[in-house]
């Protein structure tokens, strides 16, 4: 019976790296449709536009590896970015030196994101509530709080104008600093936020492949009961992945503020949890947990951005955008789920 | 002979590994045919080919005079082949008649269900089978044996000619087995045929007419049950490797290492036990006697209400797995697939995971040293595995269990709590596990084993503690452990219980 699954885990097969193949195909398709390619365009796609979804996707990927899901990543990003904006503006209004303004804002994003992630994690890990419902609820709460706050906080502090319910970083050297981080390139070619994304990716790939903590996450996703019986502290590890994801959302919020110099709480990060899940699925990580590589998420994110760019380049109505993304996601999951089944049936 | 089924020269390979190498199986009409072989011999694969779950690479299947080679699951059902699975495939939340008519409901033209007609038809069949089940009761309220008979009734209902019974008696009591066998006899008289898969020799000799033995995917032998005996069949099954030799030796035991005093929990009461270093202590009792729960409590998985657990004279202050592990206690759970195996992880990862929870201060995995440790354990436990990066499920049950032994030995545990360690492992591998247990005891490890198989206890245990409904009723030294004595105390039939 058990001899039916004589499969090497680490032996090389093209199926294991299909996420790279998908990415290459999409890149070729984009090149053809767009008709030209340049270094600027290349780094624009793979670094500037992939950074935020990529960072959220890396957190989402860790959570999915443990067999859970987080629907609140977009809302955490939006909420943290909103309040970071308020703090930034208050500091600017109090004439705090711009270096300190940026430092405090960045610290706030990191600590705040971690905290919101920890709230999710504690409820899911410690209280053993279902992740889907918990993060759906916190998604609603976090987003509503940032929208409501925008409404009641004075425009001079939110930075918004007229009746517009948006947060804006107040002009000045501090804002210019944030803007430079979000929009400038190292050596004139490598966007800073893209570099930050890749650095985070390298760290998380290392954690997932080479640390005891990383292997525990796979163990929990593969069989949580067995992991518990083997001595793994399932409660704490579950809590920790949601907390790390919260931290990554905080970093996403910094990137967002840098890129946009402000945040509209009713649109910022909307559907980003779905885009992050899309990047994870395109990266070949199994939704059932326990399987997949963090490296896949990097390519999954690239693929996701490429799809976005291809749709834009084809000049179709932006309203069809999500239908096409949805369809591509379906194809990806069909390949992921049905591929192994077909191979099994034919006894490959 | 009038044959209902002929499977000829069946070949099947998975990923290049040959699982069936030219197997023949012939079943006569109206006979009970025992299909025998150790786990991994190819029985399941053969049955899955017959019922259309797998396709075969070569060979021919003739059923009731018709060639049904490589049919689909649906086609094989329609032809009259019914697979009564080991894990029952009933819907617990549906009613009995809904289960029987599942996907084959009787409906009016408008599509609404004819409930009364279905219930009446169920009653008819149940009466014919001599089954006393109310068709309109929910399945979750049925006993294991009622579920079993329901599965058979389901097959009969749709005119199955050949029923495959995969380990049908596992969850049944003796009286229930009698009833099941009575039903089989009745159906046999009507001309139904059975393929009977079981590891229990007495049952096979009671119910089967003919037998076929498979070993390592090869056809070994077929014949009449009346012309053979259990010893012969067993040695045909396991081949040359089987040895029933006595391996137990008395050993010098050390000082007490694990002590429980007046330990009380949900399923065990007032348990006081002292286990000595190097001892093999067996816990036994009927299903639900509390042995497994006691072990899980010592391991920190289940809470204790009162009483103390001490390791090397020092009390365990908290009831957590982590503390138990730090105090060198290991627990090998029952139900390997659900509670030990992480199916997406490699053999190596499955092995090192537990030790890592103790050495969290060094967060980075040193691959070379992990592989060296694995190689040492592989040698030590004679694990038969190709490569450490293969998935754990690529191993046979016995070798998987050895990897989980390695998982715990790797933590330097001194006290090994083994909960039903030979469950679902075939005869040959069981003998190896026994040898391993004694080898570990000899090297100074302390072993507590929970088992309901008395021959198993006889072979390894220095002492046997018999439980009855959560309390210790008797402690037997090695030479007093006999099937008869243990059963007497386990059923609380003895007069001189310690209570």
CATH of the domain at B483: 3.40.50.300
pLDDT on residue B195? 94
- Please list every residue in chain B whose beta carbon sits closer than 8 Å to the beta carbon of residue A222: 342-345
Report the distance separating Cα A44 and Cα A26, nearest Å: 15
* B104 touches A at CB < 8 Å: no
A138 contacts A72 by C-beta, under 8 angstroms: yes
Domain of A110, in residue numbers: 50-311+320-336
Q: What is the DSSP letter of B465?
A: E
- Asked, for residue B246, whether it belongs to a domain, the answer is no
Q: Is A129 exposed, middle or buried (0-12, 13-18, 19+ CB in 10 A)?
A: middle
Q: What is the pLDDT of residues B122-137, one digit of tens each?
A: 888 888 777 788 888 8
pLDDT on residue B394? 84
pLDDT on residue B234? 75
* A16 touches B at CB < 8 Å: no
Q: Are residues B179 and B295 located together in one domain of the fold? A: no
B406 contacts B320 by C-beta, under 8 angstroms: no
Rounded percentage of chain B residues whose pLDDT exceeds 70: 94
pLDDT on residue A8? 47
- Asked, for residue B496, whether it belongs to a domain, the answer is no
Average pLDDT over all residues of chain B: 86
Tell me, letter by letter, the H, E, C secondary structure of A115-158: HHHHHHHHHHHHCCCCHHHHHHHHHHHHHHHHHHHHHHCCHHHH
* B363 touches A at CB < 8 Å: yes
Number of domains in chain B: 2
Report the distance separating Cα A113 and Cα A80, nearest Å: 6
- Asked, for residue A44, whether it belongs to a domain, the answer is no
- Asked, for residue B284, whether it belongs to a domain, the answer is yes
Report the distance separating Cα B14 and Cα A7, nearest Å: 9
Q: Is A97 exposed, middle or buried (0-12, 13-18, 19+ CB in 10 A)?
A: exposed
Q: Are residues B95 and B11 located together in one domain of the fold? A: yes
Report the distance separating Cα B151 and Cα B141, nearest Å: 15
Residues of B numbered 52-81 whose beta carbons fall under 8 angstroms of chain A's beta carbons: which are they? 54-55, 57
The pLDDT of residue B267 is above 70:
yes
- Please list every residue in chain A whose beta carbon sits closer than 8 Å to the beta carbon of residue B397: 2
* A291 touches B at CB < 8 Å: yes
Tokens describing residue A249: 């959302």
Residues of B numbered 319-358 whose beta carbons fall under 8 angstroms of chain A's beta carbons: which are they? 321-322, 325, 331, 333, 338-346, 349, 352-354, 356-358
Nearest to B338 among A215, A225, A345 (CB): A225
B248 contacts B48 by C-beta, under 8 angstroms: no
A62 contacts A245 by C-beta, under 8 angstroms: yes
Q: What is the pLDDT of residues A275-286, one digit of tens each?
A: 899 899 888 888
- Asked, for residue A287, whether it belongs to a domain, the answer is yes
Q: How far is A287 from chain B (nearest CA, A)?
A: 13
Q: Are residues B209 and B267 located together in one domain of the fold? A: no
A177 contacts A183 by C-beta, under 8 angstroms: no
A55 contacts A251 by C-beta, under 8 angstroms: yes
Nearest to B343 among A6, A222, A230 (CB): A222
- Asked, for residue A29, whether it belongs to a domain, the answer is no
Q: Are residues B218 and B155 located together in one domain of the fold? A: yes
The pLDDT of residue B11 is above 60:
yes
Cα A331–Cα A335–Cα A341 angle in degrees, nearest 5: 145
- Asked, for residue A36, whether it belongs to a domain, the answer is no
Contact B344 A233 (CB under 8 A): no
Q: Are residues B231 and B269 located together in one domain of the fold? A: no
Report the distance separating Cα B289 and Cα B451, nearest Å: 11
Nearest to A6 among B15, B341, B363 (CB): B15
What secondary structure does DSSP assign to B210-243, as a single string? Answer: EEEEEETTEEEEEEEGGG--HHHHHHHHHGGG--
> Does residue B418 or residue B14 have the better pLDDT?
B418
A330 contacts A307 by C-beta, under 8 angstroms: no
Task: Identify the domain boundary among B240, B267, B287.
Answer: B240
Strand partners, B13: B18
Domain of B276, in residue numbers: 256-490
- Asked, for residue B140, whether it belongs to a domain, the answer is yes
Once rounded to an integer, what is the mean pLDDT over residues B294-310? 91
Q: What share of chain B is helix, strand, coil (3-state, %, to 5)?
A: 35, 25, 35
HSE of A18, CA atoms in CB hemisphere, 13 A? 13
Best of B353, B386, B395 to disrupt the A interface (most A CBs within 10 Å) is B353
Contact A291 B344 (CB under 8 A): yes
CB atoms within 10 A of CB B306: 11
Task: Identify the domain boundary among B206, B240, B274.
Answer: B240
Number of domains in chain A: 1
- Asked, for residue B499, whether it belongs to a domain, the answer is no
- Asked, for residue A61, whether it belongs to a domain, the answer is yes
- Please list every residue in chain B whose beta carbon sits closer than 8 Å to the beta carbon of residue A7: 15, 390-391, 394
- Asked, for residue B248, whether it belongs to a domain, the answer is no
A281 contacts A287 by C-beta, under 8 angstroms: yes
Query: What Rg do the C-alpha atoms of chain A give, in angstroms?
Result: 21
- Asked, for residue B495, whether it belongs to a domain, the answer is no
- Asked, for residue A345, whether it belongs to a domain, the answer is no
Report the distance separating Cα B480 and Cα A149, nearest Å: 78
| Neighbour-count burial for B394-427, b at 16+ CB within 10 Å, e otherwise | bbbbbbbbbbbbbbbbbbebbbbbbbbbbbbbbb
HSE of A288, CA atoms in CB hemisphere, 13 A? 8
Nearest to A230 among B354, B359, B367 (CB): B354
Report the distance separating Cα A135 and Cα A250, nearest Å: 16
* Dihedral angle over CA of B198, B202, B207, B210, nearest 10: 70
Q: pLDDT band for position B242 (50/70/90)?
A: very low
- Asked, for residue B150, whether it belongs to a domain, the answer is yes
Contact A10 B346 (CB under 8 A): yes
Tokens describing residue A142: 């976090």
Nearest to A9 among B13, B389, B395 (CB): B389
Nearest to A212 among B344, B360, B389 (CB): B360
B47: nearest CA in chain A?
Answer: A1
Once rounded to an integer, what is the mean pLDDT over residues B288-297? 89
H/E stretch holding B162 reads strand B162-166
- Asked, for residue A304, whether it belongs to a domain, the answer is yes
Report the distance separating Cα B149 and Cα B177, nearest Å: 10
- Please list every residue in chain B whose beta carbon sits closer than 8 Å to the beta carbon of residue A293: none
Q: Are residues B122 and B166 located together in one domain of the fold? A: yes
Q: Are residues B318 and B459 located together in one domain of the fold? A: yes
All residue ranges of chain A with pLDDT < 50 are: 1-12, 347-348
CA A19 to chain centre: 17
* Dihedral angle over CA of B175, B176, B178, B182, nearest 10: 140
* B86 touches A at CB < 8 Å: no
Q: How far is B224 from chain A (nearest CA, A)?
A: 27
pLDDT on residue B328? 92
Size of the A and B interface in Cβ pairs below 8 Å: 136
B343: nearest CA in chain A?
Answer: A222
Q: Which range, of A58-62, B153-157, B323-327, B373-377, averages the lowest pLDDT?
A: B153-157
Once rounded to an integer, what is the mean pLDDT over residues B275-285? 92
Report the distance separating Cα B362 and Cα B415, nearest Å: 25
Query: What Rg do the C-alpha atoms of chain B give, in angstroms?
Result: 25
Report the distance separating Cα A118 and Cα A123, nearest Å: 8
pLDDT on residue B499? 46
- Asked, for residue A331, whether it belongs to a domain, the answer is yes
User: In 3D, which of B388, B38, B33, B311 has the Cα closest to residue B193?
Assistant: B33
Q: Are residues B286 and B236 located together in one domain of the fold? A: no
- Please list every residue in chain A whose beta carbon sits closer than 8 Å to the beta carbon of residue B411: 231
pLDDT on residue A59? 95
The pLDDT of residue B484 is above 70:
yes
Nearest to A2 among B325, B345, B395 (CB): B395
B394 contacts B344 by C-beta, under 8 angstroms: no
The set of residues, in sequence order, having a beta carbon less than 8 Å from that of A100 and lying 6+ positions away, is A91
pLDDT on residue A11? 45
Task: Identify the domain boundary among B191, B211, B240.
Answer: B240
Q: Are residues B355 and B472 located together in one domain of the fold? A: yes
* A9 touches B at CB < 8 Å: yes
Nearest to A1 among B39, B342, B352 (CB): B39
Rounded percentage of chain B residues whose pLDDT exceeds 90: 32
pLDDT on residue A69? 93
Best of B218, B356, B369, B399 to disrupt the A interface (most A CBs within 10 Å) is B356
């Amino acid at each position: 019976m058990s001899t039916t699954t004589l499969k090497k885990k680490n032996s090389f097969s093209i199926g294991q790296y299909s996420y790279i193949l998908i990415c290459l195909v999409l890149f070729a398709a984009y090149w053809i449709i767009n008709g030209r390619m340049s270094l600027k365009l290349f780094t624009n796609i793979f670094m500037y536009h992939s950074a935020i979804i990529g960072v959220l996707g890396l957190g989402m990927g860790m959570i999915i590896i443990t067999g859970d899901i987080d629907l609140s990543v977009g809302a955490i990003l939006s909420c943290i970015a909103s309040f970071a904006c308020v703090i930034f503006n208050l500091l600017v209004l109090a004439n705090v030196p711009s270096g300190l303004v940026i430092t405090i804002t960045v610290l706030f994003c990191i600590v705040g994101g971690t905290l919101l992630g920890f709230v999710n994690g504690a409820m899911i890990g410690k209280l053993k509530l279902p992740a889907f419902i918990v993060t759906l609820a916190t998604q609603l709460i976090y987003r509503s709080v940032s929208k409501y706050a925008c409404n009641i906080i004075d425009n001079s502090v939110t930075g918004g104008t007229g009746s517009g319910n948006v947060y804006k970083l107040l002009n000045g050297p501090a804002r210019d600093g944030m803007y430079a981080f979000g929009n400038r390139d190292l050596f004139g070619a490598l966007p800073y936020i893209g570099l930050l994304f890749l650095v985070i990716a390298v760290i998380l790939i290392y954690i997932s492949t080479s640390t005891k903590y990383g292997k525990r996450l796979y163990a929990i996703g593969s069989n949580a009961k067995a992991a518990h019986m083997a001595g793994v502290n399932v409660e704490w590890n579950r809590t920790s992945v949601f907390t790390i994801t919260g931290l990554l959302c905080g970093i996403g919020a910094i990137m967002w503020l840098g890129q946009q110099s402000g945040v509209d709480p009713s649109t910022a990060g909307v559907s980003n949890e779905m885009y992050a899940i899309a990047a994870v699925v395109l990266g070949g990580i199994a939704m059932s947990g326990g399987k997949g590589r963090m490296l896949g998420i990097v390519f999954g994110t690239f693929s996701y951005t490429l799809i976005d760019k291809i749709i834009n380049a084809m000049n179709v109505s932006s309203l069809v955008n999500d239908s096409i993304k949805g369809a591509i996601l379906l194809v990806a999951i069909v390949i992921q789920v049905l591929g192994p089944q077909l191979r099994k049936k034919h006894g490959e | 002979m009038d044959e209902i089924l002929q499977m000829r020269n069946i070949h099947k390979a998975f990923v290049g590994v040959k699982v069936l190498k030219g197997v023949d199986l012939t079943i006569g009409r109206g006979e009970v045919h025992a299909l025998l072989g150790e786990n991994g011999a190819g029985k399941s694969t053969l049955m899955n080919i017959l019922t259309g779950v797998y396709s075969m690479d070569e060979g021919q299947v003739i059923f009731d005079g018709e060639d049904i080679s490589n049919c689909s699951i649906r086609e094989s059902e329609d032809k009259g082949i019914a697979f009564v699975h080991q894990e029952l495939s009933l819907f617990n939340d549906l009613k009995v008649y809904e289960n029987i008519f599942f996907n084959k409901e009787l409906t009016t033209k408008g599509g609404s269900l004819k409930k009364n007609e279905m219930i009446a038809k169920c009653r008819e069949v149940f009466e014919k089978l001599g089954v006393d089940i109310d068709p309109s009761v929910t399945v979750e309220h049925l006993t294991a044996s009622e579920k079993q008979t329901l599965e058979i009734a389901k097959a009969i209902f749709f005119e199955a000619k050949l029923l495959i019974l995969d380990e049908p008696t596992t969850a049944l009591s003796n009286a229930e087995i009698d009833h099941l066998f009575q039903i089989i006899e009745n159906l046999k008289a009507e001309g139904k045929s059975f393929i009977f898969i079981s590891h229990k020799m007495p049952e096979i000799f009671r119910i089967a007419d003919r037998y076929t033995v498979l070993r390592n995917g090869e056809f070994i032998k077929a014949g009449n049950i009346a012309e053979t005996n259990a010893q012969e069949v067993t040695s045909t099954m396991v081949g040359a490797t089987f040895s029933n030799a006595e391996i137990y030796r008395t050993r010098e035991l050390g000082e007490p290492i694990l002590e429980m005093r007046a330990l009380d929990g949900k399923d065990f009461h007032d348990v006081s036990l002292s286990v000595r270093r190097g001892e093999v202590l067996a816990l036994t009792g009927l299903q639900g006697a509390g042995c497994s729960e006691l072990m899980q409590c010592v391991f920190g998985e289940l809470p204790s209400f009162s009483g103390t657990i001490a390791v090397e004279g020092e009390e365990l202050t908290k009831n957590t797995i982590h503390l138990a592990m730090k105090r060198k206690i290991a627990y090998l759970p029952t139900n390997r697939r659900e509670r030990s195996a992480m199916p997406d992880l490699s053999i190596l990862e499955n092995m090192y995971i537990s030790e890592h929870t103790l050495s969290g201060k060094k967060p980075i995995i040193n691959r070379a040293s992990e592989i060296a440790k694995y190689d040492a354990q592989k040698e030590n436990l004679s694990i038969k595995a190709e490569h450490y990066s293969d998935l754990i499920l690529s191993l046979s049950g016995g070798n998987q269990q050895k990897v989980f032994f390695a998982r715990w030995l790797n933590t330097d545990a001194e006290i090994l709590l083994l909960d039903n360690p030979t469950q679902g492992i075939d005869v040959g591998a069981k003998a190896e596990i026994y040898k391993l247990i004694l080898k570990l005891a000899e090297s100074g490890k302390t072993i507590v084993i929970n088992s309901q198989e008395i021959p198993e206890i006889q072979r390894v245990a220095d002492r046997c503690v018999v439980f009855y409904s959560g309390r210790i009723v008797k402690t037997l030294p090695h030479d007093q452990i006999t099937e008869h004595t243990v059963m007497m105390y386990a059923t609380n039939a003895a007069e001189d219980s310690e209570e």
